[in-house]
Structure 1
Amino acid sequence: MMGDSIDNFHRRSLLRKSVVAGLSVDLIGTTTGSGQRKPDEDQYIVLAGSTDQTARLEHAGYEILHELADGSVLIVQGPAGTVAELQSMVVVTSAVANQSVTVKPTGLGKDNSTEDETSPYKEQWSMEHIRAFDAHDIVTGKGTTIAVIDTGVDHTHPDLKSQLDRDRSRLFRNGTIAAGVDTINLSTKLESVERFVATDVNWHGSHVAGIATAPRNESGIVGVAPDAKLVSLRPFFLEKANDYRLSGNSVDLLIAIDYAAKIGVDVANISLVVTGRNPGSVARRRMFAAFNRVIQYAIEQGTTVVTAMGNQGLNMNEYPGYVLPASNPGTISVAAVDETDTRRDDSNFGDSTTTVAAPGEQILSTVPEELSPQRYSYTSQTSVAAPHVAGLACLVRELNPDIHPRKITQAIQKGAVPLTGDGTTGLGAGRIDARTTIDYLNQ
């Protein structure tokens, strides 16, 4: 334990805030920045179409940086502006330039806290609502692992450090993969520090991680899978432009998903949405295909991929392929509802994309001390709905270690509570219910 941050939880204020938690990133152009990339070179995502593609690409002057999804997706580096030349090669099904993404980190908002002398567990309305505590009478996620692909996980937080597998956690930056301790920038101090590379440089990833895996340690909060292990995969980093900004790119997202599958995690939670200004463009279709290959590979390796639906308030039946990776088949795509099981106005929806809904309104979870002295805070949107489902997937996997991810999806759908009435359309099978899901599997 660190100081009184947990032990005195009931004697201090809780940070109630109006800020929302969506991590929405926009594909904005070819990458720049540090890492392996040279000033006169670009990185490309290549969908391979032949068994001898690596030799031919290397002969044409491209360096193979990573082979993803059993070699069906290649990350290559070569002369800038040559995507057309790549596309024309007979060994290439399609090629698209790496796309950079920039996220303006949302602050934690104004502290409108009030003294609360009760146990923090009382504040976890969502855990009661999905009957997670009831499910814990049977399963707790023991023996399973969740990868949180996000802004990092606070490795010092008392509700996270015992769950975190630091040895397998990684930072992904411009095609490179880093482990251990290195110099990183923190968003609150805007200065370089020596720190665990996959620690949180925002707060979003820590909040997501707590919802999924916070342990039952009689203080703090409890996650949906409190005995599951946690791997932090951070494809975002802070860089100095005109201001410090949270940046990433599509290559790093793909590498992170592939890495999660290769190390054999049970569940990968992706509480971020990559939107596109022109979903019907050739480049967008090629990017969709690349994500699709990597996600299908992860699923076949036994990794359940859980994604947030995004927070544009759009009906995805009318915008197919608009949000990645939630639009990719095989993912468990999660919309957000409130305590009345009504969809949040800003949650994307549509039965063509949405698998299930989960609580996404004023959810209490863990945040770094550098951003909030209390180390706990409330936030909303589909980003916090998704880890409820990721935790539930771990409960299912504990009950049946050999179950395929598609069967996990079916079980969660079967256990969901069907929703009717205003504000409930387009929410897939309904709102998740952990105990009903477990009981269904135990029949």
Structure 2
Amino acid sequence: MPDVTKRDFLKVSGSLIGGIAAGTTVTAAERTDRFIVSTGGKADLSDLTVVHEMPGIDYAVVRGDESAVKRSVKSYEADVQIELDSPDVNSEAPTLDADEYEGQPGDIYQWDKADLDIPEAHETTEGEGTRVAVIDSGVLETHPDLSGPLNLGLSRNFTDDGGDHNPVGGDDHGTHVAGIVAADNGGGLGVNGTAPKTDLVDCRVFSGDGASFADILAAVVYSANIDADAANLSLGAYPVPRQAQGQFYGKVLNSAMTYANKEGTLLVIAAGNDSADLQHDKNFISLPNEGAQAVSVASTGPIGYGLSFDLGDVNSPAESPAFYTNYGTNAVTLGAPGGDADTSLTDLVGGVPAYAYDLVFNTVFSYEDVDGDGESEQVPGYGWKAGTSMAAPNVAGAAALVKSANPDYNANQVEAALKKAAEVPDDYGKEYYGAGYLNVVDAL
């Protein structure tokens, strides 16, 4: 079965935060050059290089020898670098370039938007006057469906790889996530996001060699400080022990998340793809989706949609829990479309295996030698992915619509509106939905 449980998430093993995505092998190591430090009390950072100040919380990220860190602050832990050893876990999912997609009935590919009645929601608002940050692997600014909503002035690279906010290598995860939030085809060829008129800010925290826990923290604080109404994090950590180093990492994360919420930024976070019962996992916690003020999103999807392009004629409805999603009554806030799969459905539909249509279709890119000079470049396209990574941005986009329709709402009020409108589908348990399945129209 191809891997469709696409959430790049961090995993703690012993005292280390490592990286894992289902079907991959990973390595992880504490960084010896960067540290997360508490700046409260008598902290003196003059002998250290400050990488991220994180204004608003009493922590910073610094570079220097550990001996200098120990002299300067009372409380610190090493930053952790996560290296993913395998290719993109959604690499087997189909993609279409613009020429292949042209002339296709694009609207029917986006079952997630149809099931959420997004066209009806857009009669009220398309997200005007709001801002959403995508904390991920970077957003391709040359994609025609993203160039409009993407705010190049505010988009940032939080890694130390020397590049800009655009993705490096072939990692189009962030581009797909961003499209689910805010793709805007302008009424032409392409796809639409849930909130195509929001102001989209790209916060790249993944590089060619993985991600840094500290960079993720810095991006959360940055999102709050630029007045983002929502920040999407299709990433996380599980299982994190509640004690030892996990206690420090949890404390600094909760500080950042509480600050973001206070500043009006709703943190929408993928619940994870381990098929894990987060409610009964004893001494472990999933972060950041079980952190303070998080809107934790589980994933749903249909089975058999591609066989008829009719959500009323599927083997399992779009609201049914995806086979990979994490769950837990108090660990999940909402359920939302993220895609499901039964890879025995191999019949070709439009040249694409039928199972692929049960994944979420949106913006991606590929590498092609366009000029025939032997040099490959990133070429915008469209493709399918699945995971709680795809469910979370549907909620982040919905949060932007609620905020646009109710400009005076704070983050808690936006969350309350989403939860009040949601309902747990018949025949399924609350543990997969929290308050219920996302209902965008009723939340406005």
Give 1:401 shift.
1.8
Percent identity, aligned pairs only, is: 29
- Aligned match for 2:332, one of 354, 357, 377: 354
Q: 1:110 to 1:349 in 2, by over 3 A?
A: closer
SS in 2 for 1:161: coil
Give 1:216 shift.
4.5
Q: What is the TM-score with the length of structure 2 in the denominator?
A: 0.78
Q: 1:107 to 1:431 in 2, by over 3 A?
A: closer
**Counterpart residue number, 1:413:** 419
- Aligned match for 1:432, one of 423, 434, 438: 438
Give 1:64 shift.
4.0
Give 1:199 shift.
3.5
- Aligned match for 1:307, one of 258, 269, 291: 269
Equivalent position amino acid for 1:100 in 2: Q
Q: 1:228 to 1:200 in 2, by over 3 A?
A: farther
Q: Distance in 2 between matches of 1:200 and 1:396?
A: 33
Equivalent position amino acid for 1:368 in 2: F
1:192-235 Cα distance to aligned partner (Å, 9 max, x none): xxxx5433540100000111101152221111001112111111
Q: Distance in 2 between matches of 1:31 and 1:146?
A: 31
1:163-205 Cα distance to aligned partner (Å, 9 max, x none): 111111111124x8x6xxx4xxxxxxxxxxxxx5433540100
- Aligned match for 2:43, one of 54, 63, 72: 54
1:281-320 Cα distance to aligned partner (Å, 9 max, x none): 3101110111110111111111111100011111111236
Paired residue total? 378
**Counterpart residue number, 1:203:** 172
Q: Is the 8 A contact 1:343 1:424 kept in 2?
A: no
**Counterpart residue number, 1:390:** 396
The answer on 1:257 being equivalent to 2:240 is no
Give 1:387 shift.
0.3
Residues 95-114 of structure 1 aligned to structure 2 (within 5 Å): 95-103=76-84, 104=86, 105-109=88-92, 111=94
Q: Distance in 2 between matches of 1:265 and 1:348?
A: 27
Give 1:62 shift.
4.1
The root-mean-square deviation of aligned C-alpha atoms, in Å, is 2.7
Residues 228-239 of structure 1 aligned to structure 2 (within 5 Å): 228-238=198-208
Q: Distance in 2 between matches of 1:437 and 1:129?
A: 15
Q: Is the 8 A contact 1:155 1:199 kept in 2?
A: no
Q: Distance in 2 between matches of 1:270 and 1:111?
A: 24
**Counterpart residue number, 2:158:** 172
1:36-88 Cα distance to aligned partner (Å, 9 max, x none): xxxxx6322123442xx333x54xx44444332524112233323787x47xx
Give 1:402 shift.
2.4
Residues 247-286 of structure 1 aligned to structure 2 (within 5 Å): 247-276=210-239, 279-286=241-248
Give 1:260 shift.
1.2
SS in 1 for 2:218: helix
Residue segments in structure 1 that go unaligned for 5+ positions in a row: 1-16, 33-40, 183-195, 239-245, 439-443
Residue segments in structure 2 that go unaligned for 5+ positions in a row: 12-16, 19-27, 303-316, 340-358, 369-377
Q: Distance in 2 between matches of 1:422 and 1:414?
A: 18
Residues 35-54 of structure 1 aligned to structure 2 (within 5 Å): 42-50=33-41, 53-54=42-43
SS in 1 for 2:395: helix
Q: Is the 8 A contact 2:155 2:202 kept in 1?
A: yes
Q: Distance in 2 between matches of 1:324 and 1:429?
A: 20
Q: 1:271 to 1:111 in 2, by over 3 A?
A: closer
Q: Distance in 1 between matches of 2:142 and 2:112?
A: 25
